Amino acid sequence: MRTLSRRAGLAAVLALSLLGVVACSKDSDTGSSDEKITLNVGLFGDFGFQPLYEEFKKTHPNVEIKERIADFGAHHQNLAAHLATNSGAADIEAVELAYISQFTSQPGKFHNLLDQGAGSMESQWLPWKWQQGLSTDKKSLIGLGTDVGGMAMCYRTDLFAKAGLPTERDKVSALWPTWQEYVNVGKTYQSKAGKGAYFFEASGNMFRAMVEQGQTGVYDNSDKIIVGENPDVKKAWDLTVDAIKAGESAKLAAWTPEWTAAFGKGTFATIVCPAWMTAYIEGNAKDAAGKWDVATVPGGSGNMGGSHLVLPKQGKHPKEAYELIKFLTSSESQAAVFKKTGNFPSLPKLYDDPSITGFSKAYFNNAPIGKIFSDAAKAVQPQHMGPKTGDVMTAIGQGLGRIEQGQQQPDAAWTQVLSDVAKLQ
């Protein structure tokens, strides 16, 4: 998580960059009401919104904003439970890509943002990002997109040098045009890096990246789970198992305390790196400034993650909640959040903005991350996400974990995965 000093820095930047937004929003603010209200915002992790709240409150002095932060899995499970029981949801909830279809399939549980006038803003978003927030019948929009997860590969230059591998980002990118070559580099790394060193942190992240680069993933376009039928899924599984057998995985489950701690310990050399991952690296490995760099991801483009902000009907203040998410997802807000936290905008007009394309970060060895992630976002070919994509990926990740922990052989783990995901259909 981010420090208070970083938040203070972001506040200073936003005070300048958002001045125009705040001024414009005055015409339509809710300052006419003196009623004191509180908007609860349910998130998984720190989205970097705190300084934005302070700006929003300048034109909405009657609004208090409280965040409720849970870990990734619990957040989405809780939201599903709150919708089922019609109790407990926040006014605003964040939903990650892997879970968005689960909620767009039940639009009656959310305020339709098209009724609030959101349709006039459609052209601002990447078309596929906008579509992801629409209900199946396209009649309801349940959320506005925050960020996208065009992929790159982050790596530790000091660990690469120690293993005799090149460290310049162009040369590193040339090492792994394909995932097979990435695994091969990992085998070289393991042979030279020594005991306790690993090429990557979590097999589930590697698997997810490969699958989400495909035209089709774990669902077909009719919302049928096709884990057993899609040869690209099995190919990704087999290659991930190959990397596990080679000792490349640190055997960590993403988003666990152990996974978070490993950033600071420097026990792994690479990680699949959507823009939002840079925040986790920088926040959890503060002593590694200048040691991380950013190369291209094997296998071409793809999108991993990114979120929407949705308004459950349980919320008591939909008008103010809508105004807040409209503000949080504005181009000025998204640009400012990217520069300070790494979450990359879902608004394509920013991809050619010099303030974005020319942006680099000293922490990442001055890598031109603005251009890297702009190019990655432009190249994304969207993939259909089914209603339980998140649960399917979790089941597959658990299967890989059983292999890593020596609880099952790969064939038995795959058989159980197919059985587990069949129960989700």
Q: What is the pLDDT of residue 33?
A: 64
Establish if 389 belongs to a structural domain. Answer: yes
User: How many domains, in total, are found in the chain?
Assistant: 2
Establish if 55 belongs to a structural domain. Answer: yes
Question: For residue range 121-144, what is the model confidence (pLDDT) as tens digits?
Answer: 999 999 999 999 999 899 999 999
Domain boundary pick from 358, 374, 400: 358
How far is the C-alpha of 168 from the C-alpha of 326, rounded, in Å? 40
Question: For residue range 360-413, what is the model confidence (pLDDT) as tens digits?
Answer: 999 999 999 999 999 999 999 889 999 999 899 999 999 999 999 999 999 999
Q: Which amino acid is at 358?
A: G
Do residues 205 and 241 both lie within one domain? yes
pLDDT at 12 over 90: no
pLDDT at 285 over 90: yes
The answer to whether the CB of 205 falls within 8 A of the CB of 393 is no
Establish if 15 belongs to a structural domain. Answer: no
Domain boundary pick from 358, 375, 398: 358
Domain harbouring 159, CATH code = 3.40.190.10
Strands of the sheet with 37-44, listed across from one edge = 63-70, 37-44, 92-96, 307-310, 143-145
Do residues 177 and 74 both lie within one domain? no
Report pTM: 0.86
Question: For residue range 247-269, what is the model confidence (pLDDT) as tens digits?
Answer: 999 999 888 889 999 999 999 99
Using a pLDDT cut of 70, give the percent of the chain over it. Answer: 92
Do residues 174 and 235 both lie within one domain? yes
Do residues 245 and 343 both lie within one domain? no
pLDDT at 151 over 60: yes
Whole-number mean pLDDT of the chain? 91
pLDDT at 29 over 70: no
Q: Which domain holds residue 125?
A: 37-148+306-358
Establish if 212 belongs to a structural domain. Answer: yes
**Residue 46's pLDDT band (boundaries 50, 70, 90)?**
confident
pLDDT top residue among 22 and 54: 54
Do residues 282 and 335 both lie within one domain? no
Establish if 181 belongs to a structural domain. Answer: yes
Domain boundary pick from 358, 380, 398: 358
pLDDT at 13 over 50: no
How far is the C-alpha of 94 from the C-alpha of 82, rounded, in Å? 14
Question: For residue range 185-240, what is the model confidence (pLDDT) as tens digits?
Answer: 999 999 999 899 999 999 999 999 999 999 999 999 999 999 999 999 999 999 99
pLDDT at 69 over 70: yes
Q: What is the pLDDT of residue 255?
A: 82
Establish if 296 belongs to a structural domain. Answer: yes
**Residue 14's pLDDT band (boundaries 50, 70, 90)?**
very low
Do residues 98 and 194 both lie within one domain? no
Establish if 231 belongs to a structural domain. Answer: yes
Do residues 257 and 330 both lie within one domain? no
